[in-house]
Amino acid sequence: MKIVICASEVVPFAKTGGLADVAGALPLALEEQGQGTIIIMPRYKAIQEAKFKISRLRPDISYSTIGRSIKVYFIENEKYFNRDNLYTDKNGDYPDNLDRFAYYCRRTLELLKEINFKADIIHVHDWQAALIPVYLKTTYTDDPFYKSIKTVLTIHNIGYQGLFPKEEFPKLGLDWSLFDMEKLEFFGKVNLLKAGIVFSDVINTVSPTYSKEIQTKEFGFGLEGILAKRKKYLFGILNGLDYSIWNPETDKFIAVNFSATDLNGKSKDKKDLQKICNLPAKSDIPLFGIVSRLAEQKGFDILAQAIDAICNLNLQLVILGTGDLKYHLLLTDIVKKYPKVISLHLKFDDCLAHKIYAGSDIFLMPSKYEPCGLGQLISLKYGTIPLVFKTGGLADTVNKDNGFIFQQYKKEELIKAIKDALQAFKDRKQWGKLMQNAARCNFSWDESAKGYIQLYEKARQK
Ligand code: ADP
């Protein structure tokens, strides 16, 4: 198959979140499975020529290569993309985001014709690329070059929809008849993710459970109705994890390497983490780790309510994260009260993240909703037992044989699950078994890529 991956961020070129990990890793896995894949993304300021071996194709198109021979095409536009950040600056969202990403979508389709790439599938990700299926089925419908192309839309987090005022609709160059509540309109605004949902051949999210949850009022962020209408074409495929980066056997950041078959080195990583974090270096105290955006979505509302009770249990807690100011302040206050229990790091720090995944006994991830989640997949690989709320990708990857799960999103339930984990930690033999079960889990990209290939086949049959 000939596949085009369209995403506004792709590892290693630009990243603000999990979308970039997926858009970077999926093409590599597809290439391994013999699929012909190219990537098209905007060229931001940070994508520098020397760093990424970039060559020029046209005055406004450059390219690089990843994997064996995956071409990554960059759409350049001085006004729209030559900026420090991807979507926001200190004042919030860039005011011209609709113009920027509508331009990206149109230029992408033109480029395919210019390079004569006769795609079977265009796989678009999130709202930034969601206009591509719309243009294909409207503006480009009479052009034979595009006739047989099918589209797949992946929703990485339905909380981010690309909403713009109605007044901006004419900039899309589409007929006003599309500004309709069955199509692009959403309570008087333009909704680009909704546009993608309506016009794509097939839709998926990043875990089977999340694909069901988003069809409910509780998790659908207002799009549950339109999704329910497209239920027949809505699927869930779990993200994979890049084991070339996240592997305790080869991890360069951690004090001692270890493997699923021999987890012995892990206790030294715990000691190292305790030392770095200024916590008493005791092996018998369970060490909990958190690596997360500090946001309500990640469970910080119930965690904040439960924190006093948690700190009075026999445990240690390392927190690494940045996010909402509210939680920065709250956690800073709490640390003053429990300096021997909590070690707080309000920053983005890849090295410390690796050390936390390796050195903790338990990884705390009580997300309120979680499309897929990478933290629990990483912690499993490092034999660090995840403790999660039963939602989305967490429900699909954590079970009683490899972790702890609570079923109601309440602080009491969270505390109870932590107490259960503390109790289990005392039985060293059982705990060792749990660690082995965790470390043996396999969430590689190979499996996910096979799922996507099946999805592409479904789209082609449509
Ligand atoms: P998100 O919804 O934020 O994308 P995921 O669990 O899918 O959540 O992925 C988050 C990724 O970002 C993980 O690889 C995690 O280790 C990393 N991460 C989050 N916060 C930090 C931080 N402060 N420092 C280092 N890495 C972080």
Residue with tokens 């309506």: 198
- Asked whether 344 and 331 are in contact (CB, 8 A), the reply is yes
Closest listed residue to residue 201, CA positions, set 114, 133, 119, 295 = 133
Q: Which two tokens stand for residue 366?
A: 């009580």
Distance in Å, CA 167 to ligand 1 centroid: 36
Rounded to 5°, angle at Cα 399 from 391 and 354: 85
Distance in Å, CA 18 to ligand 1 centroid: 8
Task: State what percent of residues in the chain have pLDDT above 70.
Answer: 100
| Residue 376 banded pLDDT, cuts 50, 70, 90 | very high
> Is 371 a pocket residue for ligand 1 (Cβ < 6 Å)?
no
Ligand 1 atom 9, closest CA? 374
Coil, helix or strand for 66? strand
Closest atom of ligand 1 relative to the 298 alpha carbon: 2
- Asked whether 251 and 354 are in contact (CB, 8 A), the reply is yes
Phi, psi of 99 (to 5 degrees): -60, -45
pLDDT per residue as tens digits for the range 44-59: 999 999 999 999 999 9
C-alpha 430/C-alpha 432 separation (Å) is: 5
> Is 185 a pocket residue for ligand 1 (Cβ < 6 Å)?
no
Ligand 1 atom 19, closest CA? 292
Coil, helix or strand for 152? strand
C-alpha 462/C-alpha 459 separation (Å) is: 5
pLDDT per residue as tens digits for the range 118-165: 999 999 999 999 999 999 999 999 999 999 999 999 999 999 999 999
pLDDT per residue as tens digits for the range 176-195: 999 999 999 999 999 999 99
Closest atom of ligand 1 relative to the 353 alpha carbon: 25
The best mutation among 251, 254, 298, 348 to test binding of ligand 1, ranked by most ligand atoms within 8 Å of the C-beta, falls on 348
> Is 18 a pocket residue for ligand 1 (Cβ < 6 Å)?
yes
C-alpha 368/C-alpha 2 separation (Å) is: 38
Distance in Å, CA 412 to ligand 1 centroid: 26
**387-412 mean pLDDT:** 98
pLDDT per residue as tens digits for the range 251-268: 999 999 999 999 999 999
Does 307 have pLDDT greater than 90? yes
User: How is 339-380 classified by DSSP, letter by letter?
Assistant: TTTEEEE-S--HHHHHHHHHH-SEEEE--S--SS-SHHHHHH
- The pLDDT, as a whole number, for residue 362 is 98
| Residue 111 banded pLDDT, cuts 50, 70, 90 | very high
Write down how long the chain is: 462
pLDDT per residue as tens digits for the range 431-460: 999 999 999 999 999 999 999 999 999 999
Domains defined along the chain, listed by start:
2-240+446-461 (3.40.50.2000), 266-442 (3.40.50.2000)
- Asked whether 202 and 455 are in contact (CB, 8 A), the reply is yes
Coil, helix or strand for 39? strand
pLDDT per residue as tens digits for the range 213-238: 999 999 999 999 999 999 999 999 99
Does 17 have pLDDT greater than 90? no
> Is 265 a pocket residue for ligand 1 (Cβ < 6 Å)?
no
Distance in Å, CA 301 to ligand 1 centroid: 18
> Is 375 a pocket residue for ligand 1 (Cβ < 6 Å)?
yes
116: left (phi over 0), alpha (psi -120 to 50) or beta: left
C-alpha 117/C-alpha 77 separation (Å) is: 22
- Asked whether 291 and 321 are in contact (CB, 8 A), the reply is yes
Cross-strand pairs, 92 = 89
Coil, helix or strand for 120? coil
Distance in Å, CA 19 to ligand 1 centroid: 11
> Is 293 a pocket residue for ligand 1 (Cβ < 6 Å)?
yes
Distance in Å, CA 375 to ligand 1 centroid: 7
Distance in Å, CA 274 to ligand 1 centroid: 21
- Asked whether 394 and 373 are in contact (CB, 8 A), the reply is yes
C-alpha 235/C-alpha 414 separation (Å) is: 30
- Asked whether 340 and 280 are in contact (CB, 8 A), the reply is yes
The best mutation among 160, 292, 350 to test binding of ligand 1, ranked by most ligand atoms within 8 Å of the C-beta, falls on 292
Does 18 have pLDDT greater than 90? no
- Asked whether 379 and 193 are in contact (CB, 8 A), the reply is no
Beta strands in 286-340 (DSSP E): 287-294, 316-323
C-alpha 309/C-alpha 96 separation (Å) is: 46
Closest listed residue to residue 362, CA positions, set 390, 342, 384 = 384
Does 90 have pLDDT greater than 90? no
Residue with tokens 């597809």: 30
Burial of 423 (0-12, 13-18, 19+ CB in 10 A): exposed
> Is 72 a pocket residue for ligand 1 (Cβ < 6 Å)?
no
Average pLDDT taken over every residue of the chain: 97
Distance in Å, CA 211 to ligand 1 centroid: 21
Bridge-based pairing state of the strands 385-389 and 404-406 = parallel
- The pLDDT, as a whole number, for residue 181 is 96
First to last CA, the chain: 15
- The pLDDT, as a whole number, for residue 136 is 98
Instruction: Dihedral sign for Cα 315, 432, 368, 248, please.
Output: positive
Ligand 1 atom 4, closest CA? 18
Does 74 have pLDDT greater than 90? yes
- The pLDDT, as a whole number, for residue 262 is 95
Phi, psi of 293 (to 5 degrees): -65, 140
C-alpha 165/C-alpha 228 separation (Å) is: 25
> Is 299 a pocket residue for ligand 1 (Cβ < 6 Å)?
no
- The pLDDT, as a whole number, for residue 217 is 97
Closest atom of ligand 1 relative to the 375 alpha carbon: 6
Give rounded-to-5 percent helix, strand, coil for the chain.
Answer: 40, 20, 40
The best mutation among 19, 22, 291, 396 to test binding of ligand 1, ranked by most ligand atoms within 8 Å of the C-beta, falls on 291
- Asked whether 432 and 172 are in contact (CB, 8 A), the reply is no
> Is 253 a pocket residue for ligand 1 (Cβ < 6 Å)?
no
